[in-house]
Each structure stands twice: as C-alpha cells, then as structure tokens.
Amino acid sequence: MGVKNIAIFGGTFDPVHKGHFYAAEIAIKKLSLDKLIIVVAKDQWRRKNTIQANPSQRLDMVNLAINEERSDSKTRLLNYEKKFIIEASDIDIKRNGKTYTIDTIKEIRSLYGKKHSYFFLIGADVALDIHNWKNFNDINSLLNIVVVNRKIQQNILPVIKERYKFLSENLIEGVSDQTSTNQRLGWSNNGFLEQGDGHVAKIINYDSVAEYISKKKLYGYT
C-alpha cells in the first residue's frame, strides 16, 4: 500500500450542512485526496457560540449527510479514482476531558498509518488563532494546514497570509457562504431565514438532516 493523501475536517457541525460538503468537494479535488475524515468534536471549549445539539446528535446528522451523498448517483464527492472517500469519526467524542487538535491528529496518524500525507482543513476565521493552539508547532510539523475560505471572508486572507507565510500556498478559496449559525437561526424560525434583501427563504439542507432536526426539535424548531 502506497502513500495516501488523507484530510482531517474537524468541527462541531452544529448542524452539518451542504456548505461543509461543498468545501469537502473542493478539497478532494485540489488535494487529490484518498480519504477525508470528518471529526465531530465533543465540544469546542474555545468556541464563542454555544453548541446546541449534543455530540451524539451532531454525529448522527453528519452520518445522515454522508449516507445521503453516498447513495446519490450524482454526488460530486468522488476522488480521482471515482471513489466515495468521506467517513465520520467519533474519536473526539470518546476522548475524556478537553479535546485538543494535537491529540486528534496523533490518534488518526496512529490509526491510519504515519507514512501517509495528512492535511488539516480549517476555516479562515479559525486560522487567525491557530498560533494559540496547544502544541501548534508540532501540529504544523505533522501535517499540512489548509485554510478553507468563504467568499464573505476575503478580508481575512491578507491577514492570514501575512501572519502565517507557510499557509499562503495552502488555501482553498470561494467555498459556499452557508454557515451553521444561519442554519440554527433558520431552524429556530421553523425552517426559514430572513435574507439580506428582506425576503424570507427556506433553509437548505440534506433531506435526512432536516427530518432529523424536525423530529428531534433541535435549535428551537417547533
């Protein structure tokens, strides 16, 4: 078995939505990935926003979205070998105490093999603070950090490129502007979200995820 390109895509996914998978699609193609692992965080104690679904529910929703994409004959989430390569991981959820990125990376490298090339996908807003992460220098030596940037975050890029020279070549730009925050706001309004121009639009998500949210009455949905 040769060296593979493996990406770790971590987050709370509260809830997961199609924007996450659009970012995954771009990463799969740009990085020629053999595997993309979505790591659902137990919590993110540095996170400013309150997590509203519990870890088990967020993992359920990620798996529902993955299964829906896998069963879709028109899915765009295929790698260069036309294989569906996305899977979910609960290693953060199972870990006792606070969860740190460095621990997740080491555990995944031990699980899948240290000889492979690893990538870590993070949002541009998160990238501004990575120098404060536990054992950041070790993280940077164990894998390639790739910044995934939304169209609305273009103003952040110059700061990131200046602060972290090594990230300048590891950028994935122009991904969907969908956010989990807007998803939660929409579901709290029974599935509808007011747009910038004043009109109200229905929240877009995977059918199975939307059904799960409504059934569990998450995010204030009634």
Q: Is 114 a member of any domain? A: yes
Rounded CA-CA distance 55/4 in Å is: 29
Whether the CB-CB separation of 20 and 13 falls below 8 Å is answered with yes
**89 within domain boundaries:** yes
Please indicate, yes or no, if residue 189 is contained in any of the structural domains. Answer: no
Q: What are the residue ranges in the chain where pLDDT is below 70? A: 1, 44-51, 150-154, 165-177, 193-201
Q: Which domain holds residue 100?
A: 5-177
Number of domains in the chain: 1
Q: Which two tokens stand for residue 98?
A: 């606070």
Residue 73 within any structural domain of the chain: yes
Instruction: Flag whether 32 is in a domain.
Output: yes
Q: Give me the sheet containing 144-150, strands edge to edge.
A: 86-89, 35-40, 5-11, 117-123, 144-150, 171-175
Furthest CA-CA distance within the chain: 55
- Residue 116 inside a domain? The answer is yes
The pLDDT tens digits for 31-82 are 999 999 999 998 765 566 666 899 999 999 999 999 999 999 999 999 999 9
Q: Residue 220 has what pLDDT? A: 85
